[in-house]
Structure 1
């Protein structure tokens, strides 16, 4: 009697990286100061990526 076949190994599905944050989940934004014009400064801060909501995975439709 022939040996039983083993099922083929499946590759784990990896979601695509977010195009905006490149998979990190965070983006940098320029700090703005001033009440009316909001002039940009040389400082930057990190913020949550609004495209993927911080997960780093590309959004699906």
Structure 2
């Protein structure tokens, strides 16, 4: 019985990296406006976790 042999070697492909998240631009954090007072006036911003990617920075669709 004849054996079949392969002449080439298997090529390994690099894993595809997912694109960065749009709202946080890959950082995993977004600026959230801080509001105070009865009229809820904005006084500044603080960092918060990106709810689109949950802080990973990659866009998982």
Tell me the TM-score normalized by structure 1.
0.76
- Which deviations, in whole Å up to 9, do the C-alpha atoms of 1:11-54 show, x marking residues without a partner? 2210111100011110011211013x21001x210000011111
- For structure 1, the residue ranges without an aligned partner over 5 or more in a row are none
Unaligned runs of 5+ in 2: 1-6
Corresponding residue of 2:46? 45
Matched, 1:20 2:31: no
Indicate the structure (1 or 2) with the bigger Cα radius of gyration.
2
Counterpart CA distance in 2 for 1:55 and 1:19 is 12
How many residues of Structure 1 are paired with residues of Structure 2 in the alignment? 56
TM-score by length of 2: 0.76
